[in-house]
Structure 1
Amino acid sequence: MKILVTGKGGREHAIITALRESAPDTKIFAYPGSDAISEIATRVEAKDLLDLVAFMQREKVDLCVAGEEAYLVKDRGLANLCAEAGIPCWGPVKEAAQLEASKAFAKHFLKRHNIPTAAFSIAHTKHEALRAITTYPVVLKFDGLAAGKGVAVCQTEAEAVAFLDEVFTSRTFGEGDMIVEECLTGPEISIFASVCDGSYHILMPARDYKRIGDNDQGANTGGMGAVASRQLADAALLEQIEETIVKPTVAGLQKDGLKYRGFLYFGIMLTPTGPQVLEYNCRFGDPEAEAVLPMVRGDFAYYLLAGAQGTLKRDLVHFVDGWSVCVILASAGYPASSRNGDVISGLDGVNGARVFHCGTRKGEIGFETNGGRVLAVVSQGATREEARGKAYEAAQGISFDGLQRRSDIAKMHFE
């Protein structure tokens, strides 16, 4: 079998590792990939998506796996182009991927299908957004892809004005509207499902840590760590989430004529009145993927192939018991900026953990920083404390100038 995975970060490194371990003889390509990914997959050069699909046709690629979300909505859409070329794609078509690409689309979808979510309004200008805010705290969401950074929980008017200036004045995230949303309270949980037309398979739940600093202080990031375990949600909670959120979402996609084959992420707040949807992602979360995928066992490669071909074969994979903890090492300046070129030391000495490369490149004397989130250090254990201890022990052996790392991953929210 030949598989091509799109993307270049830690999530894609984790996906390709899981594919490689489940099917050692599979030929794996990566586009655009990274220097670290090139050690386990063959990087592909292509000038655009049409060129990439032509490559897959020439190489007779059996399966395309969408890692990064941008390709799903770029141009005519990765999955759409694959369908035209007869290549099975594990990732939704462009029309369905609007669930992530447009938060307004997602909120209207949730409302239309009676799926619990926060009350909201949509603003086209800074003035409209300020007028729509009636109380604080308030959640402001940019209506578009923003690498996990287009959301602000504003406690005061000053914070709201600052974020609105980013969106409407500086256009930090590009052109787009603003969703003004009720601020929900409660612990968060990430639920992942494999969706194949009208069928779904709920995978291992996870929880990520968005803020740059301990105790959820500081700026929002793409994620500074994650914890994964089936113990994050008991049977009653999972059943409630399935009945009120997952099942009606899949039914809604079918009713709206939106073809969906791929991973679907549900960001959920466990409020005092029940679970409510914060957001959808049309791919595996990051850094949750780095925590969840080392727990998968079975024929992951053929599981994805069968799903992309139209049959969800749940019995091909399962998830082991225990806990998995992911600690992100970020570069100097992140998330406002990132510093590249700092030499990374200690990678060769890592024991009892996996290291997925999020933003690195090969330099003259080894790997160096090349992005905001640099490395994901991941370890598993029978207990949360064991997994956390092993992950932090491994992380402490890695260093580079300006390194940022939270110290409370898998501790906060549990103690």
Structure 2
Amino acid sequence: MNILLLGAGGREHALAWKMSQSHHCDALFIAPGNAGTSQFGTNLPIGVTDFEAIKQACIEYKIDMLVVGPEEPLVRGVYDFFEKDTALQQIIVVGPSAKAAQLEGSKAFSKKFMQRHHIPTAAYAEFTADNFEEGKAYIAKHSLPVVLKADGLAAGKGVVIATTHTEALQTFEEMILHKQFGDASSKVVIEEFLKGIEVSVFVLTNGSDYQIIGHAKDYKRIGEGDTGLNTGGMGCVSPVPFMDDAFMRKVEERIIAPTVRGLEQEELIYHGFIFFGLMNVNEEPFVIEYNCRMGDPETEVVMPRLQTDLVALFAAMDNGTLADANIAYDERYCATVMAVSGGYPGDYQKNKIIQGLEHAGASKDVIVFHAGTQQNENNVLTNGGRVLAVTAYGNNIADAVDKSKNKLKEISFEGMYFRRDIGFEFGDSE
């Protein structure tokens, strides 16, 4: 079949790499893609929310399946756009409806959904400009630290963990009164802080059946030792040592199964990935957030470990046989280390020439996924804050991370930075 993949990051390069291995994939197109995705298909200069241009590409290239990488087109209703258009209705769309995508698109929606279906999560309250003073009083009495979340999409930057009441009140004011994130922070969710270790679990579902396709732990802080500003993710490891059978059983019974049942009961159309952002609190799982797509850089370790044909899983999702699919994993550990532009996550420059990529595919144990790159004649240039995700297989986490770092020593661009301590708390876990 002919497949169109939406997106331009490391997640999309990893999905393109994985889907291109399927014998079900006849032709792959990526919109807009990056310098790395062009190795596996044809990049199309189309924005991910330009639905009319996406429609024309689907007709021109006889697309059979649309795979949606980022969240914005899902929240804006790309599934619904295809479902309502007679020229597009026969195309399989991997992604939820706009209403179901509110699990990510609105923190308040997702918290209420979890309450209705008795899914463990942090206690919370929500506020707008209309009850701003009540919000201030709520914060003043709240235990510390306290978590403030912009309700809508804020490009991964709408969450603040405040350690003082002054910081919390200033953040609250910035979000609501000064519209720090525009409409996304017109409503703010205030949550209790859960102390534990974060982990993400990834599921493919048709809204009634599901398959777990992997899990991972990412590292969001810019600085080593998990210090400094939050980023989109500086690295990732999988499998996570504490994700044993007993903990995974709790996750499935208390969180995954009730979530999918809830989607079905509420008649929310969901044909795609669910990203469960979890916190392990003394061996008990709690949901921090849902995302309606795969994570980045989690995809860069989940896809290399997944041995099942991804396109076949998408087809099974569509034709009702997902429950019968067999999920197989590579038993090795996987780690990815993200090389970022100087100044990220603040201001940074683009269009820096990347050196050393000519040997990037030379090792069977290391894969270089492009996150923010573009091709310019004979050079690959930086085109984002997060530039490259270097993924490696290893016998343990430390081994995989070392292989990633060794590959990064062969690559350079002006201002390049990466964390050298990804997976630090796990040592050489077997």
In the superposition, the TM-score normalised over structure 2's length comes to: 0.91
Measured in 2, the distance between the counterparts of 1:287 and 1:310 equals 29
CA contact (8 A) 1:152 1:220 kept: no
Query: Letter of the aligned partner of 1:391 in structure 2?
Result: S
- Counterpart of 1:152 in structure 2 is 160
Could you say which residue in structure 2 is the equivalent of 1:408? 421
1:390 maps to 403
C-alpha separation in 2, matches of 1:230 and 1:209? 13
Kept in 1: contact 2:397–2:426 (CA 8 A):
no
Code of the residue aligned with 2:412 in structure 1: it is S
d(CA) in 2 for partners of 1:17 and 1:403? 24
1:112-131 alignment, distance < 5 Å: 112-125=116-129, 127-131=133-137
Q: 1:107 to 1:289 in 2, by over 3 A?
A: same
Q: 1:379 aligns with which of 392, 400, 408?
A: 392
1:56 paired residue number: 58
Q: CA deviation at 1:83?
A: 2.2
Structure 1 residues 105 and 234, CA gap change in structure 2 (3 angstroms): same
Q: Which residue of structure 1 aligns with residue 12 of structure 2?
A: 12
- Residue 128 of structure 1 deviates from its aligned partner by 4.3
Equivalent position amino acid for 2:16 in 1: I
CA shift at 1:393, angstroms?
A: 0.9
Instruction: Name the CA distance, whole Å, in 1 between partners of 2:74 and 2:212.
Output: 22
Cα distance change on mapping 1:216 and 1:12 into 2, 3 Å: same
1:293 — aligned with what?
303
Code of the aligned partner of 1:62: D
Q: CA deviation at 1:213?
A: 0.7
Give me the whole-angstrom Cα distance separating, in 2, the residues matched to 1:46 and 1:222. Answer: 23
Aligned equivalents of 1:130, 1:214: Cα separation in 2: 34
1:97 equivalenced with 2:132 (yes/no): no
- Bigger CA drift: 404-413 or 113-122? 404-413
Please state if 1:83 is matched with 2:83. yes
1:306 to partner: Cα distance: 2.4
Q: For 1:15-414, list aligned pairs within 5 A.
A: 15-23=15-23, 26-46=26-46, 48-74=50-76, 77-84=77-84, 85-86=88-89, 87-125=91-129, 127-133=133-139, 134-175=142-183, 176-229=186-239, 231-272=241-282, 274-312=284-322, 315=325, 317-350=327-360, 351=363, 352-363=365-376, 366-412=379-425, 414=427
Give the CA deviation at 1:354: 0.9
Distance 2:134 2:202 in 1: 34
Distance 1:232 1:64, change over 3 A: farther
Q: Identity of counterpart residues, as a percentage? A: 39
| Unmatched runs of 5 consecutive residues or more in structure 2 | none
Cα drift, residue 372 of structure 1: 1.1
Gaps of at least 5 residues in structure 1 are none
Letter in 2 for 1:183: F
Q: 1:276 to 1:400 in 2, by over 3 A?
A: same
Count of aligned pairs: 413
Give me the whole-angstrom Cα distance separating, in 1, the residues matched to 2:242 and 2:42. 36
Distance 1:359 1:120, change over 3 A: same
Query: What is the CA-CA distance between 1:363 and the residue it aligns to?
Result: 3.5
1:127: Cα distance to partner?
Answer: 4.4
Distance in 1 (CA, whole Å) between partners of 2:317 and 2:237 is 26
Deviations 1:38-67 (A, max 9, x none): 232112344721331243134321111111
The 10-residue stretch of structure 1 (229-238 or 4-13) with the greater mean CA deviation from structure 2: 229-238
Contact 1:300 1:316 in 2 (8 A): no
Secondary structure of 1:21's partner? coil
Task: Compute the displacement of 1:154 (Å).
Answer: 1.2
Calculate the TM-score normalised by the size of structure 1.
0.94
Measure, in 2, the Cα distance between the counterparts of 1:294 and 1:166.
Answer: 41
Q: 1:316 to 1:401 in 2, by over 3 A?
A: same
Structure 2 CA distance, aligned partners of 1:166 and 1:407?
A: 34
Q: Partners of 2:331 and 2:353 in 1: how far apart?
A: 36
Indicate if the aligned counterparts of 1:291 and 1:325 stay in contact, CA closer than 8 A: yes
Classify 1:104/1:414 alpha carbon distance in 2 versus 1 (closer, same or farther; 3 Å): farther
Whether contact under 8 Å (1:206, 1:232) holds in the other structure is no
